[in-house]
Each structure stands twice: as structure tokens, then as C-alpha cells.
Amino acid sequence: MSPDHRADRPERRSPTNTCAACGRPIGISYLMCAPHWHLVSRDLKAQVFRTWGALQRGKGGAQDQLSLINEYRAARDQAVAVARWHMDQSTGEAHAKTG
């Protein structure tokens, strides 16, 4: 295919998501960017993965699915809160050093 034909096609981009902690563009399958995900404890990361996986498998009735959604959201929200807490701490330290 000649380069002229490529110009006629719309640009293909990977679907993107944004980091739940900072809003930085990230891959569609991620919750947070790597720097913020690394702030989350191993146990909490495992809980996020476990609850997400259970939700994706979709076994059980509507009540079971609702329970899985709530469990995932609780784990996800806790992980995001931890990352944001660390962000706030580092920002506070920076202000204390300059203030």
C-alpha cells in the first residue's frame, strides 16, 4: 500500500483509560498508572485482582453479581484512596520543605 492511501484512513489509537489517582492516560486494562499502583500494598492489589476476576467470571445470580460489584468497588476505592493519600503526603512534604 502506498503512503498516499494510508493518509485516507483514520488514525487507529489504542483505547485508553485514565489513572484513577492522577488522571494520566493509561491502557484500557489498568486502574492506575504504574507509579501510583506501586504505592498500593501487595495485599490490597491482590484483593483488587481477586474481586475483579470474580466479577468478570460472572457466576451466580443477580444478587451474587451485585455482591461482587460491591466487593470490587470497595477494593478499588480503597486502593485509589491509598494512592491519593501517598500523593497528598508527598505534596505536603514538598510544601513543608519549601515553606
Give the tens place of pLDDT for each residue, 37-86. Answer: 999 999 999 999 999 999 999 888 889 999 999 999 999 999 999 999 99
In this prediction the pTM is 0.75
Q: What is the pLDDT of residue 77?
A: 98
Relative orientation angle of helices 62-98 and 42-57, to the nearest 10 degrees: 150
Q: Domain ranges in the chain?
A: 3-98
Q: What is the pLDDT of residue 5?
A: 53
Q: What is the pLDDT of residue 98?
A: 45
Cα diameter, the chain? 60
Helix, strand, coil percentages (3-state) for the chain, rounded to 5, are 65, 5, 30
Is residue 43 within 8 Å of residue 86, measured between CB atoms? no
Calpha distance 38→29 (Å, rounded): 16
